[in-house]
C-alpha cells in the first residue's frame, strides 16, 4: 500500500513536471544544430563579415528560415529585416591645429604631428580658449558631472580618455568594466551639449603610464593602406556630432596645461575627484579645423515574432537573440566563426522552430517572443544598439533579453594566452565540460532566479561570474545595449578558448550535445518568462 502511494506521488510529480516543460522542447536536436552550423560557418560564406556578400547571404538564409516556419516578420515596414546605417570616416585634406603663442606667434600642427581628428569628428572649424574638464563625463544619474552645469560658450574642451576609478571594483562606472559613459563619442556629445566648440582627448597617463608612441596611435587610427576590416560607427550616433573631436599627444597636452601652471599629473589627480572636477580655464587659445569624409553603409538585422495568445500580454515581448556576423576572410584564410556566433544563431533557429511547432499544435505562449539575429556585433554591437536605441516595438514592452553568443565550446584559458584572456583565471576545457557562464545576473535577481529554475531539468553548471571583471566581457555582447536602456538582459556564453577569433573556430570543433542542452534550457527559460504573470525587474544599478 505504501509503495503504491509513493509510486503514485512520483508519477504525479513527473506528470506535473512534464506539463511544465516548454512544448516541443525535445524538437531541439544536436543533429539539426550541426547541419545548420556546417552551412552557416562553412567556407562558402567567407566568414560573414559586415558589408560582404557572405554576410548578405547569411541574413537572407535566416530570413528564409523564419519565413518557412511561418513566424511573423518583426522588422521594418512589415519585413523580416531591421534596416539601419553604419558610418565610416576617411581623412580629408584640410586638417589643421594652431596654438597661439606669446607675442603673436603661432604653432601650426598637421595630423600625425601630436594630433589627429577622430573618426566620428565632424568636418568643422572652431576657435576658442582651452578648458580642462577632467574626463569630460556628464552622468548626473551616477552623481558625476565634469561640467558642473557650467556653460562653456565656445570653449575648446581638453579631457582625459577613459573614466575615473577604472581600477576600483566599487566604482559607480560599472566597477572594473569600461562604462558606456567613457566612450569618446558620448563625451563629445556631452561637451557639445554644454556649449563646447570642440573637444581634445589625451591619454590618461596617470592610469596608463608608459612610453608614448603617438605616431603608432595615429597610424592605427588612420592607416596608410585601408585595413581589411573597416572601422565603423553607428550613423545615428555620428550624425549628432557637429564639433571637431581630436586626439592629442600627452606632450601637447602638457604644453597646453603649462599655461595654467599645471602638470598632467596634477590634472590626473583633479580628474579623479569623486563627483567630477570643476572645469578649469587654461587660457591657451586654439584653432582647429577637422576634415573627415563620412561614408554611409547600409546594414540590417533579421527579426521574427512568435505571437503570444494572451489578449493582455501578447503586446509584451521576450527577446531571444544572437549575432550572425564574424571576421570575414583574407585570401585563403577564413575566419569561420562557428562558435562566434554561428552557435548562437543556429540555436536561435532551433528555438524559433520549437515555438512554431508548438503554435501549429495550438500551444502559444502568453507573451510574444521576438527572435533577433543581430548584425555587426563584431564591429561594435551595432545591430543591437540600433534596435535598442530605436526599437520597432515599444521599449517598455520588452520584458527581457536572452542573448546567446558562443555557446558551442568549453571555456579554456591557457597559460601564456596573452591579452585576449586578460582578467580570466587559468582553466582547462575539461573543467568546463558542463558549464555555461551567465553574464548580467547582478543587474536582475529575478532573471538569475529564472535561469536557475529553467535549468532544473537540464543540470548545466551555471557560473555567475565576469559581471565585474577587467576582461570587459560584461559589455562585449548584444545584451549590453539593452541593459543601458534599463531592460533586464542576460548573455549565455560557454567562454573564450584559444580558437576564439582565429581561423580555427570551425564547425567540426563544436560540442553539439552540450549545445543542444543549452538551447533547450534557454528555450525553457524564454517560455517561462513568456508565461508568467509578472515580469523581471532590473535591480538598482550595481557594479
> What confidence score (pLDDT) does residue 1 get?
42
- The pLDDT tens digits for 301-317 are 999 999 999 999 999 99
CATH entry 3.30.1330.90 includes domain 93-290: no
Identify whether the C-beta of residue 414 lies closer than 8 Å to the C-beta of residue 502. no
Residue 434: predicted pLDDT: 98
Q: How far is CA 520 from its chain centroid?
A: 25
Which pLDDT belongs to residue 540? 76
Q: Is the dihedral of CA 369, 443, 324, 337 positive or negative?
A: negative
Q: How far apart are CA 16 and CA 120, in angstroms?
A: 57
pLDDT value, residue 482: 98
Q: Give residue 113's pLDDT.
A: 87
3-class SS of residue 361: coil
Domain 36-84+297-531 has CATH 3.30.360.10: no
Residue 3's pLDDT is what? Answer: 45
> Rounded to two decimals, what is the model's pTM?
0.95
What the block records as the C-alpha cell of 498 is 584559444
Residues 231, 234, 237, 240, CA torsion sign: positive
Mean pLDDT in residue range 312-323: 98
Q: pLDDT of 480-489, one tens digit each?
A: 999 999 999 9
Dump pLDDT digits (tens) for 160-186.
Answer: 999 999 999 999 999 999 999 999 999
Q: What is the mean pLDDT of residues 492-498?
A: 98
Query: Once rounded to an integer, what is the mean pLDDT over residues 17-30?
Result: 85
Report CA-CA distances (Å) from 262 to 174, 245, 270, 274, 280: 30, 23, 11, 20, 10
pLDDT tens track for 195-233: 999 999 999 998 988 878 899 999 999 999 989 999 999
Contact at 8 Å (CB) between 64 and 195?
no
Q: Which residues of 121-155 are buried (b: 16+ CB within 10 A; e: fewer)?
A: bbbbbbebbbbbbbbbbbbeebebbbbeeeebeeb
| Spatial contact of 96 and 289, defined as CB atoms under 8 Å apart | yes
pLDDT confidence tier of residue 541, bands split at 50, 70 and 90: low
Distance of alpha carbon 81 from alpha carbon 299, whole angstroms: 9
* 90 sits in which H/E element: strand 81-91
pLDDT-derived band at 259 (thresholds 50, 70, 90) equals confident
Distance CA 136, CA 62 (A): 42
Q: In whole numbers, what is the pLDDT of the chain averaged over residues?
A: 94
CA distances from 347 to 62, 179, 338 (A): 12, 30, 12
Residue 43 has pLDDT above 90, yes or no: yes
- Residues carrying CATH 3.50.30.30, the chain: 93-290
* CATH 3.40.630.10 domain range(s) in the chain: 36-84+297-531
Q: Are 23 and 354 in contact (CB under 8 A)?
A: yes
Model pLDDT, residue 12 = 36
Average pLDDT over residues 423-433: 98
Which pLDDT score is estimated for 261? 85
With H, G, I as helix, E, B as strand and everything else as coil, classify residue 235.
helix
Q: Name the least confident of 3-7, 135-139, 222-226, 460-464.
A: 3-7
C-alpha cell at 304: 521574427
Give the mean model confidence (pLDDT) for residues 494-505: 98
Amino acid at each position: 500500500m505504501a509503495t503504491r502511494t509513493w509510486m503514485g506521488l512520483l508519477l504525479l510529480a513527473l506528470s506535473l513536471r512534464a506539463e511544465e516543460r516548454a512544448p516541443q522542447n525535445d524538437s531541439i536536436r544536436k543533429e539539426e544544430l550541426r547541419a545548420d552550423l556546417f552551412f552557416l560557418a562553412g567556407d562558402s560564406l567567407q566568414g560573414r563579415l559586415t558589408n560582404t556578400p557572405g554576410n548578405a547571404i547569411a541574413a537572407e538564409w535566416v530570413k528564409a528560415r523564419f519565413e518557412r516556419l511561418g513566424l511573423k516578420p518583426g522588422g521594418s515596414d512589415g519585413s523580416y529585416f531591421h534596416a539601419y546605417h553604419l558610418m565610416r570616416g576617411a581623412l580629408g585634406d584640410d586638417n589643421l591645429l594652431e596654438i597661439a603663442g606669446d607675442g603673436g606667434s603661432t604653432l601650426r600642427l598637421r595630423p600625425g604631428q601630436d594630433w589627429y581628428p577622430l573618426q566620428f569628428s565632424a568636418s568643422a572649424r572652431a576657435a576658442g580658449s582651452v578648458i580642462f574638464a577632467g574626463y569630460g563625463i556628464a552622468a548626473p544619474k551616477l552623481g558625476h558631472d565634469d561640467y558642473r552645469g557650467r556653460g562653456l560658450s565656445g570653449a575648446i574642451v581638453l579631457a582625459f580618455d577613459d573614466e575615473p576609478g577604472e581600477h576600483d571594483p566599487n566604482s559607480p562606472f560599472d566597477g572594473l568594466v569600461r562604462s558606456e559613459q567613457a566612450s569618446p563619442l558620448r563625451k563629445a556629445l556631452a561637451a557639445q551639449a554644454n556649449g563646447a566648440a570642440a573637444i581634445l582627448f589625451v591619454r590618461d597617463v596617470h592610469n596608463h603610464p608608459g612610453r608614448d608612441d603617438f605616431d603608432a596611435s595615429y597610424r592605427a587610427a588612420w592607416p596608410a593602406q585601408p585595413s581589411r576590416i573597416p572601422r565603423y560607427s553607428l550613423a545615428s550616433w555620428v550624425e549628432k556630432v557637429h564639433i571637431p573631436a581630436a586626439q592629442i599627444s600627452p606632450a601637447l597636452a602638457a604644453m597646453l596645461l603649462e599655461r595654467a601652471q599645471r602638470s598632467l599629473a596634477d590634472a590626473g589627480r583633479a580628474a579623479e575627484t569623486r563627483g567630477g572636477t570643476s572645469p578649469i580655464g587654461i587660457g591657451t587659445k586654439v584653432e582647429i579645423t577637422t576634415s573627415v569624409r563620412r561614408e554611409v553603409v547600409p546594414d540590417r538585422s533579421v527579426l521574427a515574432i512568435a505571437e503570444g495568445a494572451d489578449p493582455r500580454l501578447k503586446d509584451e515581448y521576450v527577446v531571444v537573440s544572437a549575432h550572425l556576423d564574424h571576421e570575414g576572410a583574407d585570401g585563403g584564410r577564413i575566419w569561420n566563426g562557428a562558435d562566434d556566433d554561428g552557435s548562437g544563431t543556429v540555436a536561435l533557429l532551433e528555438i524559433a522552430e520549437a515555438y512554431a511547432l508548438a503554435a501549429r499544435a495550438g500551444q502559444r505562449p502568453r507573451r510574444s517572443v521576438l527572435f533577433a539575429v543581430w548584425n555587426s556585433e563584431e564591429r561594435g554591437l551595432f545591430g543591437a544598439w540600433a534596435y535598442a536605441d530605436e526599437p520597432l516595438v515599444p521599449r517598455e514592452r520588452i520584458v527581457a533579453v536572452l542573448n546567446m553568443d558562443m555557446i558551442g565550446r568549453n571555456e579554456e584559458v591557457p597559460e601564456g594566452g596573452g591579452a585576449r584572456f586578460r582578467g580570466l583565471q587559468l582553466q582547462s576545457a575539461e573543467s568546463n565540460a558542463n558549464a555555461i557562464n551567465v553574464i548580467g545576473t547582478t543587474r536582475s535577481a529575478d532573471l538569475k532566479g529564472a535561469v536557475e529554475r529553467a535549468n532544473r531539468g537540464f543540470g548545466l553548471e551555471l557560473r555567475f561570474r565576469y559581471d565585474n571583471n577587467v576582461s570587459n566581457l560584461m559589455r562585449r555582447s548584444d545584451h549590453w545595449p539593452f541593459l543601458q536602456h534599463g531592460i533586464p538582459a542576460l548573455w549565455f556564453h560557454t567562454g573564450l578558448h584559444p580558437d576564439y577569433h582565429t581561423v580555427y573556430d570551425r564547425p567540426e570543433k563544436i560540442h553539439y550535445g552540450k549545445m543542444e542542452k543549452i538551447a533547450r534550457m534557454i528555450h525553457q527559460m524564454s517560455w517561462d518568462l513568456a508565461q508568467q504573470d509578472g515580469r523581471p525587474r532590473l535591480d538598482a544599478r550595481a557594479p
